[in-house]
Structure formats: structure tokens, C-alpha cells
Amino acid sequence: MKSMMMDRGWLVNSYAQVEFLLGDLIWQLRSFPEYSTELHAFPLSLDGRVARVTEFCQRDGPLRAHSNDILPLFDRLAQLDEGRQFFVHGYCAFYSTPAGDMAMQFRRFVPPAKGEKKGPVRRKDLIVRPAELAAARDRWALFADTSMKIFRGVYQALRLEEPDLLPIERA
């Protein structure tokens, strides 16, 4: 049970790394005139960040040169997303047998499909065994590591690792 919770933690952490990288890239790009007028509404959701970075990759500007590296990450992210939704937002229960077999059950409420304003909210379940969760952890860790390497290259090429010279507004 403890190792399964650790695997879940690695999954959530890997997702958080990628989500933050997208937000930080958007934040850093505010110093470029090509993007500065677009940053009045900072996207907090993952979907919003993906949409904004995709838009930046498709327009003329310094990020366009890196679009062939960045945009494929979003296809992989979409493939991994349904499982992530369970691991991050799902209620978790453990099941075990006297023989030592284990599984985790995740339950979550699923909103109507994207594009539907109204529709049924559904409850979905996902049951994973230790080997399945470990494999998912490995897929997410590889994805996060690959994302970090790509973003590191973008940051170096665009000199985004320079000291932050723009003021930070504090609430």
C-alpha cells in the first residue's frame, strides 16, 4: 500500500512539474514584445496553458522556432490525461486479499464533455493494481523528464534563465 501511494505521489509530482513549466514559460515570455500584450489574463488551468503556448508557437515570434519540440508534448499529455485526472482528483480506496494481492480504486465525477454546456455528470471508477500504477508512474516520470529537457533547451535558447527584470505584482 505504501509503495502504491508513493507511485501516486510520483505521478502527481510529474504532472505538477509539467503544469508549472507551461505556466513559467508563459510568465517568462512576457518580456518579449510579441507576447506581452497577450498576458493580461494568465491561464491557471492546464488546458488554458496548453492553448496559450500552442498559440504562441504558431505565431511569429521567438517561440515558433521551438514549436516542433514543444507541440508534440501536448499530444502525449492528452494521451496521459485521463489517468492523471483519476490520480489527482479521484477518491482513493485500497483493497487487499489475505494472500497479499492489492489494488487501488479511484472514483471521480466527470463533467460533461468539452463543448457541451449541459449534460450528465457521471461517476467513473478506475481500478489499478501495483504493476499498472508503477508503469503509469514510469510513463509520467519519462514524460516529465523529457519535458524538462525540452523546456531547458528553450529557456537557454531564448535566454529566459536571465534574472527576472520585470516587476512582480503582489496582492
**Residue whose grid cell is 513559467:** 24
**In this structure, what is the dihedral angle of CA atoms 86, 88, 93, 97, given to the nearest 10 degrees?**
80
DSSP 23-75: HHHHHHGGGSHHHHTTTTS---SHHHHHHHHHHHHHSSSGGGGGHHHHHHHHH
C-alpha cell at 109: 465525477
Ranges of each domain in the chain:
2-89+138-158
Per-residue pLDDT tens listing for the chain (171 residues): 888 889 988 988 998 899 999 999 998 888 888 887 766 678 888 889 999 999 999 989 999 999 999 999 999 988 887 778 888 888 999 999 899 889 999 999 988 877 777 878 889 999 999 999 999 999 999 999 999 999 999 999 998 876 555 554 544
Distance of CA 170 to the CA centre of its chain: 25
